[in-house]
Structure 1
Amino acid sequence: MLGLQTLLRAGAAAGRGAGRQVSSSFATGPRQGDGTFYEFRTYTIKPDKMKNFLELTGRNIHLRTVHSPMVGYWTLEFGGLNKAFHIWKYDSFAQRAAVRTALAKDQEWQEKYMSQMLPLLDKQENEIAYLVPWCELGSPPKDGVYELVTFQMKPGGPAVWGQTFKAAVSAHVKTGYTQLLGVFHTEYGLLNRVHVLWWNENPDSRAAGRHYAHEDPRVVAAVRESVQFLESQQNLLLLPTGFSPLK
């Protein structure tokens, strides 16, 4: 979990080095030394089939997770309807390729799940993303709701907007109203895109916290610096499914 002290130390170190050279808070190559990356998958389900989809997935998801670990599985409450969003963790692209091959050969998975799920599916999308170097994947203190905030930044990459983006995230963390679970930089999909995953106890605590943050001069100042590099932003409220590891 990325704690407040970790963010403060990292921010101070970046500030000391700012006078010596231009640097980025995001790597321009692999985001992690061990090569771990995350696949974001979004399924759009036919409007009258979401209940069937969730029941089918709940019964059979164990057939999928034996092949590779699932980080979380959610449905969208706000920001999009009839959608399921899930995150999968891989150690390397070779591992992912091996998993996909194994799934294609897994007769039980194909018969019990894929053959029945595909008629319920309207569209699917995926992205590959790395955790940024200054963030570790966190876990919530208890059950709650999740917010996925997607920022489409201006072209140029983290060397242009990385430090100000990090400062804006840090400012929100310091308010204490929400908990940061992960900051992900897209490698495949739309480039210059950053996903930030937050946890809140419930939608009302999130709303109250946001109101408080918008009146905090530290947050206002940090966001003002970062927003000059922003092209668009999307906020999704996610509800964890009963079979999601992150509740």
Structure 2
Amino acid sequence: MFSTRAAIRKSFSLTRHVNQLRASISTGPQQQHGTFYEFRTYQIKPKHNAAFLKLINDKIHLRTAHSELLGCWTVEYGGYNQVFHIWKYDSFAHKAAVRAAVASDPQWMEQCISKALPMLTSQELEATYLVPWCKIENPPKEGVYELVTFQMKPGGPAVWGKAFQGAVSAHAKTGYSHLVGVFHSEFGLLNRVHVLWWYENPDHRAAVRHTAHQDARVVAAVRESVLYLESQRNKLLFPTPFSPLQ
């Protein structure tokens, strides 16, 4: 009887292992914690651009008292009169608690939000996770950033993840570009991946791009990845004075 029970337990354990393996193969590697990054893009009315930036610069300390700001940038190319920022949260419960606290903060609401909202034409929010094979890497010094957004074919990382990682790694590991982070969308358009790069200045970025595109290793990796690509968009970002990432 005991041998029968042991056999049943062993069979159940094996079945569970096989199911977990199948799930891993079908979905690809996943983050094992709840930390996520909220991407916010504000479109500013052109006549209010300077005033909006000054207001945020003066009052952002009221907002960062509630949660961590990873970085904030103005968009130089790829979306003029835009401010893009990334906020870090431990979980969606954490985000909900911060949102409630911010909404009940009279200083932030009266001194900043009430003045900022009339200056905007739109706001876009997206929840993202760092991909499992990447962590945030601070740049070596002040510079500029490039946000490259890839809309991949449906299917998720199980379909295109390996090829995409290969293309990113081909640029980062060869020393052409400094990789800050790779983010996979959770809410917003799915199958979207954002890659944040750092460069010393725009001319450095242009020179690096020219050199990398003559490297056979980079060319081969990119050719494999674009088989799964639907569209791509690049933005050149300048950090604001108060941005933690400079």
Q: Is the 8 A contact 1:26 1:133 kept in 2?
A: no
Equivalent residues in 2 for 1:38-117 (5 A)? 38-117=37-116
- Residue 74 of structure 1 aligns to a residue whose secondary structure is strand
Instruction: Report the equivalent of 2:168.
Output: 169
Question: Aligned-pair distance for 1:178?
Answer: 1.3
Q: Is the 8 A contact 1:67 1:99 kept in 2?
A: yes
Of Structure 1 and Structure 2, which has the larger fraction of its residues in helix? 2
2:133 is aligned with 1:134: yes
After superposing on structure 2, the runs of 4+ consecutive aligned residues of structure 1 that deviate more than 4 Å are none
Amino acid at match of 1:148: L
Question: In the aligned structure 2, how far is the partner of 1:58 from the partner of 1:25?
Answer: 41
- Residue 108 of structure 1 aligns to a residue whose secondary structure is helix
Equivalent residues in 2 for 1:236-247 (5 A)? 236-247=235-246
- Residue 88 of structure 2 aligns to a residue whose secondary structure is strand
The CA deviation string for residues 8-45 of structure 1, in whole angstroms up to 9 with x for no partner, is xxxxxxxxxxxx98847953xxx432310000000000
Q: Is the 8 A contact 2:73 2:237 kept in 1?
A: yes
Question: Aligned-pair distance for 1:176?
Answer: 1.1
Amino acid at match of 2:140: P
Question: In the aligned structure 1, how far is the partner of 2:198 from the partner of 2:188?
Answer: 24
Aligned pair in 2 of structure 1 residues 198, 136: CA closer, same or farther (>3 Å)? same
Instruction: Report the equivalent of 1:5.
Output: none
- Residue 83 of structure 2 aligns to a residue whose secondary structure is strand
Q: Is the 8 A contact 2:139 2:180 kept in 1?
A: yes
Question: Aligned-pair distance for 1:226?
Answer: 0.5
Aligned pair in 2 of structure 1 residues 233, 143: CA closer, same or farther (>3 Å)? same
Question: Aligned-pair distance for 1:200?
Answer: 0.3
Q: Percent identity?
A: 65
Q: Which stretch of the first structure deviates more once superposed, 103-112 or 169-178?
A: 169-178
Question: In the aligned structure 2, how far is the partner of 1:23 from the partner of 1:144?
Answer: 39
Name the TM-score, length of structure 2 as normaliser.
0.89
Q: Structure 1, unaligned stretches of length 5 or more? A: 1-19
- Residue 137 of structure 1 aligns to a residue whose secondary structure is coil
The CA deviation string for residues 185-221 of structure 1, in whole angstroms up to 9 with x for no partner, is 0000000000000000011111010000000000000
Aligned residues: 225
Q: Structure 2, unaligned stretches of length 5 or more? A: 1-20
Question: Aligned-pair distance for 1:175?
Answer: 2.6
Q: Is the 8 A contact 1:167 1:222 kept in 2?
A: yes
Looking at CA atoms only, which structure, 1 or 2, has the larger radius of gyration? 2
Question: In the aligned structure 1, how far is the partner of 2:205 from the partner of 2:27?
Answer: 27
CA RMSD of the aligned region, Å? Answer: 1.5
- Residue 46 of structure 2 aligns to a residue whose secondary structure is coil
- Residue 163 of structure 1 aligns to a residue whose secondary structure is helix
- Residue 210 of structure 2 aligns to a residue whose secondary structure is helix
Question: In the aligned structure 2, how far is the partner of 1:81 from the partner of 1:73?
Answer: 15
Aligned pair in 2 of structure 1 residues 24, 170: CA closer, same or farther (>3 Å)? farther
Q: Is the 8 A contact 1:25 1:133 kept in 2?
A: no
